[in-house]
A and B are shown apart, each in its own frame.
Chain A
Amino acid sequence: MLLIPCPWCGPRDEIEFRCGGQSHIQRPEPFDAVSDEAWADYLFTRINPKGVSYERWLHVFGCRQWFNVARDTRTHEIHAVYRMGEPKPDLRGVE
């Protein structure tokens, strides 16, 4: 069971959270100029990395805030947490 450092509440058990999947997905716009292929890609294509995964998590039984987690899928180590809208942290040397 992961110990997730919520940026607002501090380290809490995984059971307080919900994972929202891959982060940093750009919603294509405007809708009437987006090709079927681009839209399908946005809806359905997800990376499945062996290594650092950038994910959205929600502290659903806590502050109810969404934030980003950089988690290693091999070890479950959490390298960084950062707020929505912030860029990916520089994890060179880790990835």
Chain B
Amino acid sequence: MSGRRLPGGGRIDRNRPLNFTFEGRPYRGYVGDTLASALLAAGVRVVGRSFKYHRPRGLLAAGVEEANALVQVGEGARAEVNLRATEVELHEGLTARAVNCWPSARFDVGAVNNLFGRLLPAGFYYKTFMWPDWRWFEPVIRRAAGLGRPSILPDPDRYETRHAHCDLLVVGSGPAGLAAALAASRRGERVMLVEQDPLPGGSLLWRPAQIDGRSGSDWAERAAAEIAAAPDALVLTRTTAIGYFDHNALALLERVAGAAGSPGPDHRPRQRLWSVRARRVVLAAGALERPLVFPGNDRPGVMLASAVSEYAARWAARAGDEAVVFTNNDSAYAAAHALLDTGGRVAAVVDSRPAPPARRTASLQARGVRTLLGASIVATHGRPALTGVTIRDAEGHDHRVAADVLAMSGGWNPTVHLFSQSGGALVWDGEQALFRPGRSAQAEVSVGAAAGEFGLSTAIEQGWRAGGGEGAPPLADAADERWTIGPLWRVPARGKAFVDFQNDVTADDIALSARENFVSVEHLKRYTTLGMAADQGKTSNVNALAIMAELTGRPIADVGTTRFRPPFTPATFGAIGGRARGELFQPLRRLPAHDRHVQAGAAFEEYGGWLRPAHYPGAGESAHAAEQREALAVRRAVGLFDGSPLGKIDVVGADAAEFLDRIYANTLSTLKVGRARYGLMLNEQGAVIDDGVTVRLAADHFLVGTTGGGADRIAAWLEEWLQCEWPDLDVLVAPVTTAWAVLTLSGPKARDVLDAAGVDMAIGEEDFPHMTFRECRVAGVPARISRVSFTGEVSFEVSVAADRACELWDRLRLAGAPFGLAPVGIEAWMLLRMEMGYLHLGADTDGATTPDDIGWGRVLKRRRDFVGRRSLTRPELLRKDRLQFVGVEAVDSTVPVPVGSHLRSPGLPSGSEGYVTSSGLSPTLGRGVALAMVRAGRSRYGEELLVITGEGRGRRVRVTVPGVRGPGGEPLDG
């Protein structure tokens, strides 16, 4: 037994004990404990194994910077991995395991790595496993080095995202942050105060202090309550500011409901990600203590001095009975007093400075504590945890001293992570041996310890001013004492001296990095993996770069730091994803007649963001059989197809015709009212970006039709040209795609069905010919009908208001039943257009396809400008060997050729002369039909090519005009 619970004190509720297990063993703690404080109080010394050498490790810290105690909490779907035990709030029934060890933290077979430690320096894996291929070794190495094992079950909890705005966002609720938020809230500002701990107060929760005549923690509680009660203020505890982005945008991660690993108790989300835009930001995130770098500094029992104090004061958990303190600065003396005050013994205070301030040493000597000045610790002893240390005194003599806890302090690092993310520049403060914020890049100010100001009065005053406080700030009862430091970056002695505890990087690894000339901090980081663990080097980075500075004889300021990146502490994917998962990840649009398709037995697939019927399989019918049957129904009787997603854009205005002439590659201004025309749109590079049928409703009113995928894109495209290039044109553009449902009747019986459904106009071929447009009523429903065809059969494209789609669907199916009407899905629709050789934009074309490539070279004859016109005469676009749109038919078989396969002349050994863009089995012909892009294809009709189906294998095909032709070369539809 080493650590123990003190008989009184601490912010724990001794009337509410909690049972939990760690590594399968039962323990007891109290409400208010963290997993770390409960383990420490229970005397558990080994809490995990290190990442690379699998060395036993104990608690290093008491807060977010903890590097060793990574745990997996909970079981099954709610298991959370790689949590810091110092941040896990204890709850009844909590189960936790150490990560990165097997079978347990106390006995771990991977510790064999430690015996070969000399053989596993930085870069070992890169240098050793290069031959024959790193990928052979990677899975094994990764498994050996892995951290926790996340659940593969779906996360049963809910997460959400919130957006917020405020006048002042304060990060950290220590004395400086509270003073800032208090001042601003009293001025009536919209204030957000963010604290990662469950309790406000920061260092006031454990450091002795008196403010305005109250204990520090009392004052903090009252101040936080006053802020929370202000009408426009919000205090968020259990909330970490994890990222600071441009223009004062910050991301906060709030742990809302349910302790880690436990079921969420109620309707609330487990976590909430806040996206906050703040007018001003106050960073009062405090400071983190640095470890000292000396041999054996990772033995369980070696802890940060401030953590020893914090565990004792906040959780009534004393880290050990017999302590040694090792420091290079004044702050660790408080830990010695804390240990003494709680009944522990302090065997020695080892201060590396030859002459620390006399009042510090005197206060301890008065309590009977030995102080060794100019001394250092050169070894630690005990297995698995600390039983003693070897002290080398100023004269070079070694003394072995018994100890079960070693409290160390190498100085302090202001928590500058968010400041650095905000773009601010850090400056090196040589006197205090720390990096602190320099010039701000945004509307932000750092205060208190985060700014390198460690005095309580100064911190409060800085916060008060930053919050806009008028008058006197809250008053601390004691004057600030200066603290001093004499940097000691590493103890020159043999043995593994750890710099990065979490990634097992030692001072020797940094020396190796320097010898091999990885001297930039960014190279050092990547070569040794220093600072790349889940803690992002919170306790290691500054020590490492200072050691590198020493080794290379440069000033620390010149070596600099690596970039601080978000998140400050790890964030769950659940919180980042929020509600955007499952069906809500990318919500699909449903057709207006969706329910009718469901009733008709449709099999749905996603096409361009829409959920559409792929086909309508009957009982026991395969997908393939269904699409063949549906396509045949169109050829022989009549099909009903839902084409609602086709893009529809109203273009209205005196200059509408002129505008469309500039946009389209072909002429639209000559279109007569009531007529329809196929058109191509190009981008300025001359590539085809959309096609569709446009109808003229009136002299100044066109309805532009686009592909389904182009509906939003082309509407935005038209707006862009109008607003940016031709603002003088009198034209309005309105996308109306979703206002209309489009049901298309297609097939030899289409006219009969429309007639039977009831239409209030003449629809004979002479009255209502191909490529015309009428407004009328179908079955009493106001409708627009276009006579256009994507199948080659007689077609009526009937548009009605979206909310009448179901009505029209029902009437057409009823009227069509005697004629053998079949609902037709997209797959059959595509087969039909393939048989006809009709181009499907995006399937047969890509981002480089020009009008001439698809047989529309005649647009080149247009004598006027339009978008993309000039590009069509660029030399590249006039080359004769460009890929051109053709049909291909298999010579040797009726089986369709695979889409995407390449084509090549039989005589050529390698290379490609094009590829298949569309392919399917024609139900009409009972054999494969295909379309392709082939080099100079239009000059090669009749030529035989090979479709490459594998190494040295191919199928013979013949190049044809696109589309199946009858025996006399006539199109299939006559």
Measured CB to CB, the residues of A under 8 A from B are: 1-3, 13, 20, 27-31, 34, 36, 39-40, 42-43, 56, 58, 60, 64-66, 75-76, 84-85
Contacts and interface: CB of A to CB of B under 8 A. Distances in A.
B725 interface: yes
Nearest to A38: B870
Contacts of B163: 13
B724 A66 contact: yes
A64 B720 contact: no
Contacts of B870: 28, 31, 34, 39
B458 interface: no
B385 to A, nearest CB: 47
Given A13-B277, A66-B723, A29 B874 contact: no
B278 to A, nearest CB: 11
Contact of B246 (A2, A20, A28, A29): A2
A4 to B, nearest CB: 9
A30 B865 contact: yes
B416 to A, nearest CB: 19
Query: Which of B685, B724, B725 neighbours the largest number of chain A CB atoms within 10 Å of its CB?
Result: B724
B720 A20 contact: yes
Contact of B724 (A39, A43, A84): A84
A85 B423 contact: no
B442 to A, nearest CB: 9
Contacts of B727: 84-85
B247 interface: yes
A65 B865 contact: no
A30 to B, nearest CB: 7
Contacts of A31: 865, 869-870
Given A1-B249, A13-B277, A29-B865, A39 B723 contact: no
Contacts of A28: 870
B249 A60 contact: no
B865 A43 contact: no
B190 to A, nearest CB: 15
A1 B442 CA distance: 13
Contacts of B874: 36, 39-40
B724 A56 contact: yes
Contacts of B875: 36
B725 A1 contact: no
A74 to B, nearest CB: 10
B342 interface: no
Interface string B706-739: 0000000000100110011101000000000000
A25 to B, nearest CB: 9
B277 A3 contact: yes
Interface string B814-857: 00000000000000000000000000000000000000000000
B246 A43 contact: no
B723 A65 contact: yes
Query: Which of B245, B246, B870 neighbours the largest number of chain A CB atoms within 10 Å of its CB?
Result: B870
Closest 4 CB pairs of A and B: A3-B247, A31-B870, A1-B249, A31-B865
Nearest to A4: B247
Query: Which of B275, B716, B723, B725 neighbours the largest number of chain A CB atoms within 10 Å of its CB?
Result: B723
Contacts of A64: 716, 719
Contact of A1 (B246, B684, B685): B246
Contacts of A30: 865
B871 interface: yes
Contacts of A58: 716, 720
A1 B163 CA distance: 13
B425 interface: no
Contacts of A34: 870
B441 interface: yes
27 contacts: A1-B249, A1-B275, A2-B247, A3-B246, A3-B248, A3-B249, A3-B277, A13-B277, A20-B724, A27-B725, A28-B870, A30-B865, A36-B875, A39-B871, A42-B684, A43-B684, A43-B685, A43-B871, A56-B724, A58-B720, A64-B719, A65-B723, A66-B723, A76-B246, A76-B247, A84-B724, A85-B727
A62 B870 CA distance: 34
B729 to A, nearest CB: 13
A75 B247 contact: no
Given A1-B246, A36-B875, 18 more contacts: A1-B245, A1-B275, A3-B247, A3-B248, A3-B249, A3-B277, A27-B725, A31-B865, A34-B870, A36-B874, A56-B724, A58-B716, A58-B720, A65-B723, A66-B724, A75-B423, A76-B247, A85-B727
Interface string B16-30: 000000000000000
Interface in B264-322: 275, 277
Contacts of B719: 64, 66
A28 B871 CA distance: 12
Nearest to B686: A43
A85 B275 CA distance: 34
Nearest to A64: B719
Contacts of B441: 75
A66 B727 CA distance: 11
A76 B248 CA distance: 12
Contacts of B277: 3, 13
Nearest to B712: A60
Interface in B426-453: 441
Nearest to A27: B725
Contacts of B720: 20, 58, 66
A20 B720 CA distance: 9
B716 A60 contact: yes
Contacts of B249: 1, 3, 13
A14 to B, nearest CB: 8
Contacts of A40: 874
Contacts of A2: 246-247
A56 to B, nearest CB: 7
A29 B275 CA distance: 47
Contacts of A60: 716
